[in-house]
Each structure stands twice: as structure tokens, then as C-alpha cells.
Amino acid sequence: MVRLMPRLQTLPDGSVVELNADSAVTTQFTAAERRVQLVRGEAHFSVKKDATRPFVVEAGGVAVRAVGTAFNVRLASSAVEVLVTEGRVRLDPPVPTPATESVPAMTQPTPTAGGLSEPAVLAAGQRAVVAQARAAIPQVTDVSAEEMARALAWQALRLQFQDMPLDKVAAEFNRHCHTQLVVHPAAADVLVAGVFRADNVEVFVQFLEQGFRIKATRRGDGAIVLSRAD
């Protein structure tokens, strides 16, 4: 069994960055500023509040400036997307990189084209899309709770199983879900393979019912008993 999850890293100032698959950043911190470059992919930042040291994330032609907040940045081939989940951020054109302290880089940056034409301020629940073109104007929209959940779904922990007995698979789900799985001894040795969201046990149960001839019985205490259907 292998757990698949976004890479979670704590930066030198205590801020946290969560990297999606095939994503990378570099860090450059000074006494006056905390600077991160999103080299590729997508990342969510939970910024530790420090009014004396702004936190700046550069992606393509956009610099996302915050003090203490949380936001998601996605660098695509045609646009940069910024989604604010908490607090407020300001979008600026990038500025020359200052002299840095000795902070190890996570990977080497790759230059990108494009540029933001004018600053923009985003509040929680807003998203800005900046095209990868010179003098691009940010397109700012409000985002519903459902849209935000879909946009951040990549952060959910996923579990991967390769021919693992059902009783052991159920034990892994039980570690992460409120709804508990109880496996009948006769079904304990059923081998399971696949990748599943750890926080969605109902989808996993449906998968078993449809493809493994497993019967799911809901108990009064909320637990789900898994047994052979034949």
C-alpha cells in the first residue's frame, strides 16, 4: 500500500506550502521580505503573519503579495490562476529579486514569459486569472464554496492499494474516516487494487459492491459491514 498526498513543506519562517503533483518552488528570504517562486505546477500557501516581512509568490508575470493569509496559485501554459482561501492578497508585476539569505532552494527556477498590466486586490472567495501575455489584465471573479472545494480537491489525501486484503484496506480507511468499515471474516482476504480518496468511504464501498461482489450493510451506529454477496 502506498499513500499518495500532496507534498507538504514548512518554510523557514513557519509558513506552509502544499505542492500538487509535478510542482516545484524556490525560496529566497531576506530580513525585509519572504519570496517564493512557483517554478511549475500548483501550490497552496498558508502564510505565517509577519507585518514586517511581506510574503511574495512569483508565478509567470504575476507577484502575489500577502502578510498573513492563505491562497492557491496555479501556473499553466496559458495563464496564472490565483485563488484566495483566507484573508486578502495583492497582485503586482514581478520586481527584480533582492539579495538573498542562505536559504536552500527546492529546485531551480525556469524563466516564464508574460506580465501583469496593473495591480489587483483579491479577498477570500475570489479568483484571478492572468493570461500569459504581455500587459495582461487580471480577470477577477467571485467563487462559490462548491467551486472552491472543486479547485482544491487535489489537496485531499489519496490511498493506493495493490492487491491488498480487504481487512487491511478497511483498517486504512478507518484511520481517516468517521464512518468505520467492519469486514466479515469471510471477506477479509478479498484482494483490492486502486486509488481512492481517503475522505470518501462511500465511493469506495460502491466500488466494492459493483466490482467485487461485496455486500454493504449499514449498522445503527453508522458503521458499514462488508461481507461477501454470494
Task: State the SS3 of 199-220.
Answer: CCHHHHHHHHHHHCCEEEEECC
**Taking the domains of the chain in order of start, what are their residue ranges?**
2-153, 156-228
pTM reported for the whole predicted model: 0.66
State the CATH class of domain 2-153: mainly beta
Residue 113: CB atoms within 10 Å: 9
Q: Which fold has domain 156-228?
A: Phage tail protein beta-alpha-beta fold (3.55.50)
Which three cell numbers mark 68? 498573513
pLDDT digits 0-9 by tens, 25-65: 999 999 999 999 999 999 999 999 998 999 999 998 899 99
Cβ–Cβ < 8 Å for 207, 196? yes
pLDDT digits 0-9 by tens, 124-135: 999 999 987 666
